[in-house]
Chain A
Amino acid sequence: MFGIRRLLTVFTLLCVVSPAFGADTPAEPSTYGKALSDAELTPISELLASPEDFVGKTVKVEGRILGVCEMRGCWIEIASDEEFESIRFKVEDGEMVFPVEAKGRLATAEGTFEKIELDLDQTRKMKQHECEEKGEPFDPETVTEAAVIYRIAGQGAVVR
């Protein structure tokens, strides 16, 4: 009987400290996916100023993380070096998982710059998904134009 009690105590203690299991230590740099290359950084403002020049190319960018996919950690939004601009760094679900705590940290990220042309229906679905993630209401009638998205298909990143 004493043995079972002791086991239960140990189990309870493990449950209490379990948040520390495998947890990212936000203060330390965390690596995701492939190791970064030695390539030069490309300012995000440069990418967004002439996106067609970079489509299909591997780019390495750096910036403050403005947001993280809350549900799956499958993207981070990286601030540009210019105000009012940012770019999404998207990874395959489960390939890399960015913790919500990464918001506000600095990311160096590398991947393929890609262009996605959506039709109106796809644009509405994307906007609906974004609203669902933020817990905001969505009215499909407010979306009247098909969107063109530029983003980075992620290969690797370091968050510090």
Chain B
Amino acid sequence: MRHSESRGRRTIRWRHWNRSLHRDVGYFVLGLTVIYAVSGVAVNHTRDWNPNYRFFRQVETFAPIVPGDRAATVAAVVDALELPPPVDAFRHRPDQVTLFYEGWSVEADLSAGRAVIERPRRRPVLYAFNRLHLNRDRGLWTWVADLYALLLLFMPLSGLFILRGKNGFAGRGKWLVSLGIVLPLGYWLLR
């Protein structure tokens, strides 16, 4: 009788610690989970949009220009579009020139009399989220990301032992866990 009581106390103590850790780790990983989840959705759809930058592109037209030498061509485009003097310029073809400015550029097609002024801007918040999620900086963040991965692994494992009865792992839990394993496995086998 005494032996069984002691085992019961140990089980209760173990479950108590598991629940407390599950709760506190959950609080701790909330911020990181928001970053990784939001960025995860964002970078999943890179075919449809650029998750890091927005490109402000403004189309301007001008009377076609007969290409001359590099300096004359650049001067003619600058004059036609009423632009400030560029930092530098490059010609891809005699009639196609790119003007470079601080943080923006102009692509001009002299024959078509068409120019695109491009200004890239980082998406606020999302740029930082993606950079952290994809571990662009390496170094210290690699350790943070590894720690987060371990804590994320701990969360569902500890969650298995919080409830008992029909809502615990032995009840509906085992079916939902199985579903979560069958989903990726089935996709992998059937893809």
Contacts and interface: CB of A to CB of B under 8 A. Distances in A.
* Chain B binds chain A: yes
A21 interface: yes
A125 B92 CA distance: 23
Interface residues of B, number: 32
25 contacts: A15-B125, A18-B124, A19-B124, A19-B125, A19-B127, A21-B128, A22-B128, A22-B136, A23-B122, A23-B127, A23-B128, A26-B103, A66-B92, A66-B98, A71-B46, A71-B50, A72-B46, A79-B90, A83-B70, A84-B91, A84-B92, A86-B92, A100-B53, A103-B120, A104-B87
Contacts of B94: 84
B106 to A, nearest CB: 10
Contact of A18 (B50, B70, B102, B125): B125
Interface string B40-54: 000000110010110
A56 to B, nearest CB: 28
Nearest 8 Cβ contacts at the A-B interface: A104-B100, A18-B128, A21-B128, A100-B120, A79-B90, A19-B124, A83-B91, A100-B53
Contacts of A83: 70, 90-91
A94 B129 CA distance: 16
A1 B166 CA distance: 36
Contacts of B101: 104
A121 interface: no
B137 interface: yes
Interface string B135-176: 011000000000000000000000000000000000000000
Contact of A19 (B47, B87, B122, B136): B122
A53 B175 CA distance: 64
Contacts of A132: 47
A19 B128 contact: yes
Given A71-B50, A84-B92, 13 more contacts: A18-B128, A19-B124, A22-B132, A22-B136, A23-B122, A66-B92, A70-B53, A71-B46, A84-B91, A97-B134, A103-B120, A104-B102, A132-B47
A64 interface: yes
A117 interface: no
A83 B90 CA distance: 7
Contacts of B2: none
A101 B103 contact: yes
Nearest to B46: A71
B39 interface: no
Contacts of B124: 15-16, 18-19
Contacts of B90: 64, 66, 79, 83, 86
A94 B131 contact: no
Given A21-B128, A84-B92, A64 B100 contact: yes
Interface in B65-123: 70, 87-88, 90-94, 98, 100-103, 105, 120, 122
